[in-house]
Amino acid sequence: MLEKLKEDVYQANMQLPALDLVTFTWGNVSGIDREKGLFVIKPSGVTYNELKAEDMVVVNLEGEVVEGDLKPSSDTPTHTVLYNEIPEIGGIVHTHSPWAVSFAQAQMKVPALGTTHADTFYGDVPVTDPLTKEEIEERYEENTGKVISRTFKQDKIDPQAVPAVLVSQHGPFTWGKTAEEAVHNAKVLEVCAEMAYHTLMLTHNDRHVSQYLLDKHYYRKHGKNAYYGQK
């Protein structure tokens, strides 16, 4: 079942250690087949050097395992909420990459300070409110997805224009049209977080990119008249 998607999600998961985005098993990637209403996700706690495409677990949009001999990632309920809440996305990544986690632990947005950020994220990458004691004690991973969704709705952020979030005191989630694109956005977020950290160390003044420069760099890659790259 979904053998091509399993292979794609496996390859995307293997990009996490290759891109230095995970330590040990601290990360996962999933990808969805919207027509079938099923997604494929990394199994829980399996080390990357042991991981195989056939280990990927198939899950439905109720969060139930449809196929697979291994337990799916413990973050599966978060992925389930996001796939239901943001129907445009085709892949999701969660990591504990250190620069993005630093902002999450500080409960700070990753600010849009320059063109590197603006090429992928149309504005600051938001940080969620902390989960409450009750949200943590019961349905923790599901409530993680819900607080992400709530953040984008409350702040009126387009999740396609800003395909990333920091869960307060936890870490980053990113997404994209495919699992591969979600991994790409995870690496971009990590690099932008590192750049933002160093910028903030150099100056305490507000160095947010201007709206017109943000517009230029975002829309030249993502707008209807985009001209970056090859046709």
Catalytically active residues are: 119, 228
φ, ψ for residue 48, nearest 5 deg: -65, -30
Contact 200/183 with Cβ under 8 angstroms?
no
Q: Which two tokens stand for residue 93?
A: 């990544």
Q: Looking at the chain, which runs of residues are DSSP E strands?
A: 27-33, 38-41, 57-60, 65-67, 91-95, 164-167, 171-176
Beta-carbon contacts of 96 under 8 Å, excluding residues fewer than 6 positions away, are 22, 23, 26, 27, 171
CB atoms near residue 209 (< 10 Å): 20
Q: Which residues contact 90 (CB under 8 A, 6 or more apart)?
A: 31, 32, 34, 176, 177, 178, 179, 181, 182
Do 38 and 59 touch, CB atoms closer than 8 A?
A: yes
Structure tokens at 174: 């990113």
Q: Return d(Cα 115, Cα 113) in angstroms, integer.
A: 7
3-state class of 139 per DSSP? coil
